[in-house]
Amino acid sequence: MARQQKHFDTRFTLALLHPRLWGTWLAIVVLFLFGILPAVIRDPIANVLAKLVMRIATKPIAIARINIRHCFPEMHDDELNALIKKNVDAFVLCLLSQAELLCRSKAHIKRRVKLHGFEHVEKVRAEGRPIIFIMPHVWPIDYAGLRLNLEIPMVSMAKAHRNRLFNWFSNRLRSRMGGRIYMREAGIRALLSELKNDHSFFYLPDEDLGPQQSVFSPFLGTTKATLPVVGRLAKAGKAKVMPVTIGYDQHDRVFNLTVLPDVETDTMDTKENEALVLNQMVEQVIKAYPEQYMWFLKMLKTRPPGEAEIY
């Protein structure tokens, strides 16, 4: 029997109206209200709320501080504190803006997300090949995914949330343009199948998935455990690999999404080389807009043998 692909069901069911989920519904309604507000009104509100988050989110901020210390050991305290503040600002802004991706028009999304470097995509698509876009965990990643999905067929993979209503909401948003959202349990086979069906997707290589099958490789100012699978996946699916950056312009109130030229998979001939190339792409994306990266993730949890834990 063929293996059944696991993807999120984004259809609405009456079970989502259970009283235990009413608090989540209230949060979604609030997000929708912010989503329909113009950015010129919403952004200042986000900046005010970010100050509150700075006071109460002590544990995530502590993790962010550790990550930044290791990734940028030369950074002075004032620079580090400024980066954390900007990072929290970016988190709150993206959170309050998120619902606009579901409730606003496609024309609005195109205005909000300015697409640069699309000629690189057009060149590859003219060859009839799909693309594996490399983007680490950044706050506006859903903006990047939906904007590209307006131009080319895309799928995605996401971790399931414990709250089934939030699960439905977030994946309904991500699949709005017709892209299918797979659960992590679907694995590499599902993504390879989609590549062969001419669907492109984002690959997030920065997550720490433990020491099994990972390779330790230089990353910014430290060393990181990296899972080297993209090179083999690209070759098997006849896909190109392209890093993508995205950052918010506070003045023009738009996201600038830039697709960079493809990276030759021949440079990923060994696991060690692939891990190095992947980390270099992630570095390139982070350095473009360091305030947009999810620094609160335990991205450096797995340490090389003999090195102490940092969290």
Residues near 225 by beta carbon (within 8 Å), at least 6 away in sequence = 208, 209, 210, 211, 214, 215, 216, 302, 303
pTM above threshold 0.85: yes
CATH of domain 18-292: 3.40.1130
The answer to whether the beta carbons of residues 69 and 81 sit under 8 Å apart is no
**6 phi and psi angles, rounded to 5 deg:** -105, 115
Structure-block tokens of residue 84: 């954390």
**3-state SS, residue 170:** helix
Per-residue pLDDT of the chain (311 residues), as tens digits, is 344 558 777 888 899 999 999 999 999 999 999 999 999 999 999 999 999 999 999 999 999 999 999 999 999 999 999 999 999 999 999 999 999 999 999 999 999 999 999 999 999 999 999 999 999 999 999 999 999 999 999 998 888 888 889 889 988 898 888 888 888 777 788 889 999 999 999 999 998 988 888 999 999 999 999 999 999 999 999 999 999 999 999 999 999 999 999 998 888 889 999 999 999 999 999 999 999 999 999 999 999 998 999 99
Under DSSP, the state recorded for 295 is T
Domain ranges of the chain: 18-292
**3-state SS, residue 187:** helix
